[in-house]
Structure 1
Amino acid sequence: MSKPAQPGTATAYDPATPSPATTTVVLLFAVLCAIYVVSQFLRNSVGVIAPDIARELDLAPQALGILSSAFFLGFAAAQIPLGATIDRYGPKRCMMASVGLAVLGCAVFAWSQSLAALTVGRVLMGIGCSSFFMGPLTIYTRWFRADRFSTLAGIQLGIGTMGTLFATAPLALSTELYGWRATFLFVGVGAAIVGLLVAVIVRDNPPGHVDESHRPGSLRESFAGLGEVIRVPGFWQLFSIQFVGYSTFVAILGLWGGPFVTDVLGFDLVERGNIMLVMAAAHIVGLFCWGPTDRLFGGRFVPVTIGAMWTATMMVVLCLFGDRGGAVTYAIFIVLGFGAAYVPVQTAHGRALFDRRLVGRGITLLNLATMGGVFVMQAVTGVIIGAFSPEPGPAGDLVRPFVAYQAAFAFLAIAIVAAWFIYRTAPDPRVGAE
């Protein structure tokens, strides 16, 4: 018999619980990854269509930065209440409650005729998707052993990031055939269908495990636990690397990659969709490869360090050689996408800091750093790029010069290195010991 959770705690994996049937696990994974596909598509969906939106609404780079980052603002703002409610009510209920907002955000975005309305739609999408990664991670904590967490996070990210693929060439094709507005209505319908599957298939705990996650404690006690989270040794070091690690990759794939290859290299809608596609594909391959590296190295510090320095180096390479075009530019985007996929190890390092009482609030608060970092980095790079005056481009129209993007990419590289200097002092529990 499984051991019931102590008052005020979230349930965690119990080795005494019988292993669930393979079919049950496969269905669980399929639905949890599907809901994350929606989140990955929506967060990265501005990059390919950014030039089209900018032309239609006459938006400057600063406005594009705000528009894209608004998703991450809504996502980040939801993390603090999300962590408490996951620990209090369970991840399934949180995912079911938030999916409706994601659907509403798609509809608002599709019908908007102004920057303000588009931004509202992006914020609603962000709030709606806020539980689609933390919810599954919390479920994996309850269903599987701790030493499998990094691998499971890598699988979740790898499969879920198929949504990023859909936000590249497929989004470009759909935009060309039906327009970006109709495309977002289609995505909203798909999100609603996946939400129904969550309601029918997902369980917070494996069969045979008593679900008491929603009974103990109070919401006030749950929120009070946030103070404990920020006092956990290593929290702020992980907060720093979470703030810039993922945001650098998303700043390129989800926003500036498309405008960069259009302004500097003259790529059209289809071409920029293709180069973003290969970058996203390399990232997905990388997620599966990076996931188990914490067990390979016996800890998380080494692989996170390799991934961070790899990413910073490729940002410098993009500054120096990104305007070469052809195979050189494709190679840079591919290598950058693969190297930046160390996120599951970074996430596992954060999860290892917290005991089962605080795991829901702990990983969601660190996710606040992740998504808040994207909001800040996209907004800041928008200001940097917008500070440079437009010049005649390859097609004769006015575009932002290469030096504008060089300045933004250099800023991202410096930010990663600075964050790593803070992160390097974080305690790193031995894999399997936490």
Structure 2
Amino acid sequence: MTADVARRSSIATRETVVLVTALGGIYIVSQFLRNSVGVIAPNLASELGLSAKEVGLLASVFFFAFAAAQIPLGVALDRYGPRRCMLVCAGVAIAGTLMFAFATSPFWLIAARVLMGIGSSCYLMAPLALYARRYPPDSFATMVGLQMGLGTLGTLLATAPFAFAVDLVGWRVSYVVVAALVLLAAFAVAVVVRDDKSDRGVAHETLRASLRGTLEAVRVPSFWPVFALQLASYSSFVVVVGLWGGPYLTHIYGYSLTERGNMLFVAVVAQIIGSFLWGPSDRLFNSYKVPVLTGQLLTATALGLAALVGVLPKAALVLWFVAIGLFPAVVTVLIAHGKSLFPTQLVGRGMTLMNIGTMGGVFVSQTVTGFIIDLFPIVNGGYALNAYRAVFGFQAVFILLMCLIYLFSRDPRRNPRDWG
């Protein structure tokens, strides 16, 4: 390697580190927003008199709004580029976060979560669209792992650190601080991410043609089998860590705010580690489907175990939360599988359509499980053990059904001719 080549390589490496840090930073904040209800769910229910259905709706409406934004977001990513999309969404996220901080009724809490969902809707897809156009296909799954691994720090902050902050200054002041952090992260994106012509593959395409491209993306072979598993993949993590894990620990094990925050912290650390471990596994196995199915079936097994046993010994409980973080992190490879199906000009729209499955699946899981829990009577001021067992069993069956559909997808890693 000549000195000039080494210098250019060093500069490219530094630019990548700075870029990933900035994009990961704003994704951290959006991840916090989507998962922060889990720790304070018992507090919100007590303070505002929310039922289980309302708690489930409060958590899930974020993901409904997030999913609903994906089609216009996909068009915008391909027409205007990731940078503009991220800056506009930051303004919406800040407004939603401040509204949540000052909300005094379930209506305003839910409205705020809608704005948070819309505002956070681009902070995975916009970076991934950027990576897809600036980096070679072989490194994409690794870039996804880096982005999701860094972003999961936001989920980590929504556990023990958030519980500590709520105990110290309350949840309302905590959200005001988060709004300020969104502003700071958006400033970093504005400075670091520069517009590049390659980031806007269809900048001169008409709106009608852009929407037609969305329909083309849906018709790509294997779109629906991969989309089906997207419904169950990420939702398996969020339905526990982002919603019912906190109440489960409080009602069944008697954990305090700090204790449940610490246990959820364990699951998030496991997911961060899992994101980095699963990221390059598609290259290791020369397959997307092998690691994806392995991770999903292990997740279903963990959830099925909790559904059957109900109450786990304390040591086993820790390992269970590790499993709930580690195994669903294979979603990084599933995202890469989805991206591999689309030609370059449809990458933005294709990935955002896939993300409708990811976030729409969370909305379905959290909403349905809220109704499931309300089917059971309250026991000693908390939700019944059998209610939680039903929730875990529902999610395990959901995963298995979607895995059956996913089996019919094509695997571009096994057959290079299948690359989009």
Q: TM-score range by the shorter chain?
A: over 0.9
Give the counterpart of 1:112 among 103, 108, 123. 103
Q: Which residue of 1 aligns with 2:273?
A: 285
Partner of 1:400: 383
Instruction: Say if 1:135 and 1:432 are closer, same or farther in 2 by CA, change over 3 A.
Output: farther
1:265-289 C-alpha deviation (Å, 9 max, x unpaired): 1111000000000010011101100
CA distance in 2 between counterparts of 1:156 and 1:240 reads 23
**Residue of structure 1 aligned with 2:402, choices 419, 431, 434:** 419
1:110–1:184 contact (8 Å) kept in structure 2: yes
Tell me, in whole angstroms, the C-alpha distance in 2 between the residues paired with 1:180 and 1:432: 51
Question: Matched residues in 2 for 1:388 and 1:235: separation?
Answer: 38
8 Å CA contact 1:322, 1:332 repeated in 2: no
1:157 pairs with one of 125, 129, 148: 148
Q: 1:186 aligns to what?
A: 177
What residue number does 1:381 align with? 369
* Compared CA separation, residues 128 and 308, structure 1 to 2 (3 A): same
1:89 corresponding residue in structure 2 = 80
Alpha-carbon contact 1:291-1:345 (below 8 Å) kept: yes
Map 1:312-391 → 2, pairs under 5 A: 312-391=300-379
Measured in 1, the distance between the counterparts of 2:414 and 2:132 equals 14
Q: 2:120 — aligned with what?
A: 129
Shift of 1:415: 0.4
Offset from partner CA, 1:176-226 (integer Å, 9 cap, x none): 000001000100000011111111111354xxx766546321122111111
| CA displacement, residues 142-186 of structure 1 (integer Å, 9 cap, x when unaligned) | 211001111110110001110011000000000000000100010
Determine whether 1:307 maps to 2:295: yes
Residue of structure 2 equivalent to 1:10: none
Match runs of 1:25-36 below 5 Å: 25-36=16-27
TM-score normalized with structure 1 length: 0.92
CA positional deviation for 1:321:
3.5
How large is the RMSD of aligned CA atoms in angstroms? Answer: 1.4
Q: Under a length normalisation based on structure 2, what TM-score does the superposition of the two structures give?
A: 0.95
1:76 match? 67
- One-letter code aligned to 1:420: C
| Structure 1: gaps (5+ residues) | 1-17, 393-397
Tell me if the contact between 1:101 and 1:128 (Cα under 8 Å) persists in the aligned partners: yes
> Structure 2 CA distance, aligned partners of 1:204 and 1:138?
13
Q: Is 1:322–1:329's contact at 8 Å kept on the other side of the alignment?
A: no
Structure 2 counterpart of 1:6 = none
Aligned AA (1:25): T
Corresponding residue of 1:11: none
1:53 to 32, 39, 44: 44
Residue aligning to 2:3: none
Amino acid in structure 1 at the alignment position of 2:283:
R
Distance 1:94 1:374 in 2: 23
Question: Matches of 1:223 and 1:233 in 2, distance apart?
Answer: 19
Aligned partners of 1:50 and 1:64 also within 8 Å: yes
Maintained 8 Å contact 2:289/2:411: yes
Shift in alpha-carbon separation, 1:82–1:431, aligned structure 2, 3 A: farther
1:379 CA displacement: 0.3
Q: Give distance in 2, aligned partners of 1:172 and 1:61.
A: 21
Letter in 2 for 1:418: L
Residue equivalent to 2:234: 246
Structure 1 match to 2:4: none
Q: Distance in 2 between matches of 1:42 and 1:362?
A: 25
| Structure 2: distance between partners of 1:134 and 1:210 | 16
Structure with higher helix content: 2
Contact 2:80–2:200 (8 Å) recurs in 1: no
- Find the residue that maps to 1:184 and give its secondary structure: helix
Matched, 1:65 2:48: no
* Counterpart secondary structure, 1:425: coil
Provide the identity percentage.
Answer: 47
Match status 1:148 vs 2:146? no
Measured in 2, the distance between the counterparts of 1:297 and 1:216 equals 40
**182-191 vs 21-30, greater mean Cα deviation:** 21-30
Which one-letter code corresponds to 1:413 in the other structure?
A
**In 1, Cα distance between equivalents of 2:310 and 2:17:** 41
Mapped contact 2:160–2:265 kept (Cα < 8 A) = yes
Stretches of structure 2 lacking an aligned partner (at least 5 in a row): 1-7
Kept in 1: contact 2:306–2:312 (CA 8 A): no
* TM superposition outliers: structure 1 runs of 4+ over 4 Å: 209-212
How many residues of Structure 1 are paired with residues of Structure 2 in the alignment?
A: 409
Which aligned pairs between 1:9-24 and structure 2 lie closer than 5 A?
21-24=12-15
SS in 2 for 1:64: helix
Q: 1:99 aligns with which of 90, 97, 109?
A: 90
Classify the secondary structure of the residue corresponding to 1:391.
coil
Describe the SS at the equivalent of 1:203: coil
Q: Does the CA-based 8 Å contact 2:41-2:247 persist in structure 1?
A: yes
Aligned runs of 1:193-204 on 2, under 5 Å?
193-204=184-195
Q: CA–CA distance in 2 between the matches of 1:210 and 1:238?
A: 27
Give the residue type in structure 1 aligned to 2:267.
M
Rounded Cα–Cα distance in structure 2 between residues aligned with 1:343 and 1:113: 36
Give yes or no for contact 2:78–2:200 (8 Å, CA) kept in 1: no
